[in-house]
Amino acid sequence: MKKTLISLSAALLLLSSSAYVYADSLLDPDQNVYVNEDVLETVSSVNLDYVLDKALKDSHNLSLLALKYAAQGSKKSDLEQQMDKMSSASFAPGHLPSTPEEVTNTGNPLLPNLTEPADIAWTVMQNNVMNQMMQGMGALAGGMNAIISAQRAQMNTAAHQLGTDQRNSLLQTDEAKAGIRLQTIAQYVQLLGQKKQLAFMQEYKGVMEKELLRATLLSQQGLASSEDLLTAQKAINKQKDDTAILLNNYRLGLVQLSTDIGISYDPNLILQDIDSISVQPIAETDTMTLLKSSYQMKSSANNIDEAVWETDHTVTQNTYGETYLGVNVAINGQKNEQMQLDLTKKIQSTYNDAKNAYAAVLTEQRNLTDVQADMKKMKFRYEAGVISKHDLNKFQIKVDQNETTLAAAKLKYYVLTEKAKAMDTGFIQ
């Protein structure tokens, strides 16, 4: 009954997000194909909170981990019930008089003392056969008990391992949630950055087209060469090619994000900006503290504890089995030490990347401040009639480019600070 409930739960979980369609293969009538027809939500605008919520709710990976945890629990309960129902073979030992002395003086009122020689001989022979049969049945019961005991020990070990696997599955689920969150943030930020870059490239394209028009007019007046025209046209063509490539990448990213969170693809989907990215120095947590809270270190510790438990509870037939168990403990210990080293390197690398991103934001802020100051000077020169409106517009593009670069630096900083914060919760990547 429990297995049936688990199967129903699994089916309902799968059907909750998708409607599965059964189809016959046209090439092979015996080959079945199962495809799912997703029911997608239609939206015109999204923000990061909405995307994160949808990504966690619609994650197939989390669904699989939930099914895995349920399957492990079901199998563990099944093994424990089997162990409870396994009973030992029992046989009460007995002995029948099997010598002339015993049959003539049984000492048992229920067994009369024999006096006739023929009865004595026949009884002795018959009882010897019966005693041998009872000894064989006793040995058989002992052998069966040994087998049952070994099976119970194996099932007990398997059930305990499943319990450890369940604990690790819970850790993997929490780790997967943190991983999905960071991955989704990175996806969203990348799309935001590409969107801002596309907007700037469109603006820059307009300035370049005006530059080409200016060069054409000057050429007609004999003030510009055909080489100047060709250079301006090549720049526009390259800009168009770069914009087309970036636009294709943006649309592909938008399709992937829409698929991940279960919404209909809309090339005009509005991605709202991330509110108030506060740029602050990176606060570092002690490495040992991060390691102790790490999902991977906790899972590794569970594996070590399981290996130690097995050395005390596994029934082995010889020293080779005991040696294997001891080596298994050592292997898990070595894996734990190697994981600690690897995670320590990742912690150091994450903090280093985050600090570099913070420094890059400060640099871009300073660059933008400098170019904005220069822009004020350019406006003064334009108002004084020293430079043309065209030159002023060209310089404004430089300001806009610095603003775009600063926005990209802030987005990168945001992703890396989120990655650093995730380490405090146990997720180290």
| In the chain, domain spans | 276-429
Strands (E), 98-174: none
Residue 218 pLDDT more than 90? no
pLDDT tens-digit map of 343-383: 999 999 999 999 999 999 999 999 999 999 999 999 999 88
Question: Where residue 19 falls among pLDDT bands split at 50, 70, 90?
Answer: very low
**Among 12, 146, 152, 137, which residue's Cα sits nearest to residue 70?**
12
Q: Is 90 helix (H, G, I), strand (E, B) or coil?
A: coil
pLDDT tens-digit map of 165-217: 899 999 999 999 999 999 999 999 999 999 999 999 988 888 888 878 877 88
For residue 102, how many other CB atoms are within 10 A of its CB? 20
CA distance 298 to 336: 10
Residue 250 pLDDT more than 50? yes
Q: Tell me the mean pLDDT in the region 286-300.
A: 95
Tokens of 364: 């871009």
CA distance 52 to 272: 13
Identify whether the C-beta of residue 251 lies closer than 8 Å to the C-beta of residue 267: yes
* % of the chain residues with pLDDT over 70: 84
Amino acid 403 reads E
Q: What pLDDT score does 89 carry? A: 56
Identify whether the C-beta of residue 88 lies closer than 8 Å to the C-beta of residue 148: yes
Q: What are phi and psi of 294, to 5 degrees?
A: -65, 135
Q: Tell me the mean pLDDT in the region 377-403.
A: 89
Say what the pTM is. 0.78
CA distance 258 to 210: 37
Q: What pLDDT score does 6 carry? A: 43
